[in-house]
Amino acid sequence: MGPRQDDDPATAEYPERAPGTRRWCFADQLGPHFLDAPDQPVLLIESRAVFARRRFHRQKAHLVLSALRHRAAELGDRGQHHRVTTYAEALDRVGEPLSVCAPTTWSSRDYVLRRPGLQVLAARGFVATQAEFAAWADGRGRRRLLMEDFYRDSRRRHDVLMNGTEPVGGRWNLDAENREPPPADGRIGVPEPWWPEEDEIDEEVRADLDRWEAEGLVSFVGDDGPRRFPVTRAEALRRLQDFLDHRLGAFGPHEDAMLAGDRWLAHSLLSPALNLGLLDPLEVVVAAEQNARDRAAAGELLPLNSVEGFVRQVMGWRDYVWNLYWYLGRDYRHGNALAATEHVPEWLAELDGDAVEAACLSGVLTDLRRDGWVHHIPRLMVLGNYALQRGIDPLEMTDWFHRSFVDGYDWVMVSNVVGMSQHADGGVLATKPYASGGAYIDRMSDYCGGCRYDPRKRVGEDACPYTAGYWAFLERNRDRLAANQRMRRPLQGLDRLEDLPLVVEQERDRGTAAP
């Protein structure tokens, strides 16, 4: 039997398998690992109401619908594919027992648990189960839920990058070697990523989205196509192999770098495929480790910091934020420890890079408008850093990230934005706010060289909005951050700034106007 309807979705004990039922697969459960048998019948539901609830990036809507329709085409007669307004319309039509792997959001789990006759199974698509994470988090003497501790535990459990009981190379974490600025010539030295080709299903999706928008049923933000990310397992495996063969070795050192003319760098671009369920994260990690071993056997040694850095992203951070989403509970999303109440400005909501003069922010918004994706440092240190400095409501920013990114889901963004990016949880996830001035962006990118703002200046018409914003942020939150030991030195620096009143006044006047 499945969990009772009154069970907490985060703590209920779900059965593992239900092979004799038709499996309802959500649009982020499209890989074979969501089935109990290769011939299991499948139900796919395309709900237009999902796209009407939020103003998603156009390419996100395209990606999800294309993936659903491609999966339906692959399944053939083994699949039922319903195009409806709501999930209930399709579920009411199905006259047979159904099972579903636990969905990835609170609201979806509440829905499936309330639905009569629907057997809810344990979640799939992650390395650690919720029970394993809870056992780790509740372990004796554990004071902080440090990702590093969780990551080491997961590597031990699955024997990834291990020599017996010790990590390969003698160190668990090589992140210190993965913080290099971009090369002076602006070239990472890797081939352009492999790109999927659109087909007639993509044409149909685009026509439907055009029609829905023309009829006023939905509204989108961002540019349309071409589709950059996989929608089938075959495409996802091709993207994975392309990364392993051509860019994994170069990934580590410059993974935190930003280049105006190279938005892909050596990143894997696998997060959308992982979050659609086309790839299982453990198979990705195993493939990376095996690739490194095979190449070593052939006399080619991949840098360990690149391999370990990639593994840490997939089975470390991704699993960590997923499990925190459930472990920290429903109310975690409402954290606002820094009392940030500004609304998301219109130019940011519209991804209008043309309205912005700050080169880094303009460039990142333009990339996001075009692709629905930028890598983790533009997200954290350009977009998130701006919102943190300006005091934008963290719940609004969580929703904005969710809607604006092709790999954005509720479980992805709650911990990443509320905890990591906006420090709205008061330090549960990160030990200090990820705020920085223009000096960081200048060091880690090539944006500042052609910018009208000077990263060294905090007052005046050419004062960098990140540099000035950093000091104004510290002053505004001086009392709230006073007990944080890691913020002691930055806060002491406030008292040495003779022009601090001018900085604060200047940034108060600037507000959230496009910088």
Percent of the chain with pLDDT over 90: 90
Q: Quick one: average pLDDT of 84-112?
A: 95
State the pTM of this model: 0.95
Q: What is the pLDDT of residues 395-450, one digit of tens each?
A: 999 999 999 999 999 999 999 999 999 999 999 999 999 999 999 999 999 999 98
pLDDT for 4 equals: 33
CA distance 278 to 27: 10
CA distance 401 to 387: 11
Percent of the chain with pLDDT over 70: 98
Residue 169, both tokens:
């190379």
Q: Where in the chain is the domain with CATH 3.40.50.620?
A: 22-121
Q: Where in the chain is the domain with CATH 1.10.579.10?
A: 333-510
From residue 428, give the alpha-carbon distance in Å to each of 121, 145, 488.
30, 8, 18
Q: What is the pLDDT of residues 371-383, one digit of tens each?
A: 999 999 999 999 9
Nearest to 238 by CA among 276, 196, 190: 196
In CATH, which of 1.10.1060.10, 1.10.579.10, 3.40.80.10, 3.40.50.300 is domain 333-510?
A: 1.10.579.10
Architecture of domain 130-196+231-327: Alpha Horseshoe (1.25)
Which residues face 221 on adjacent strands? 57
Q: Quick one: average pLDDT of 444-471?
A: 96
Nearest to 71 by CA among 29, 39, 107, 110: 29
pLDDT for 7 equals: 57
Query: Over 90: is that where the pLDDT of 317 sits?
Result: yes
SS3 readout for 405-466: CCCCCHHHHHHHHHHHHCCCCCCCCCCCCCCCCHHHHHHHECCHHHCCCECCCCCCCCECHH
Considering only CA atoms, give the Rg of the chain: 23
CATH topology of domain 22-121: Rossmann fold (3.40.50)
Cβ contact 429:419 at 8 Å: yes
Q: Where in the chain is the domain with CATH 1.25.40.80?
A: 130-196+231-327
pLDDT for 139 equals: 78
Q: What is the pLDDT of residues 236-291, one digit of tens each?
A: 999 999 999 999 999 999 999 999 999 999 999 999 999 999 999 999 999 999 99
User: pLDDT band for position 143 (50/70/90)?
Assistant: low
Q: What is the pLDDT of residues 39-60, one digit of tens each?
A: 999 999 999 999 998 999 999 9
From residue 240, give the alpha-carbon distance in Å to each of 193, 234, 237, 334.
10, 10, 5, 36
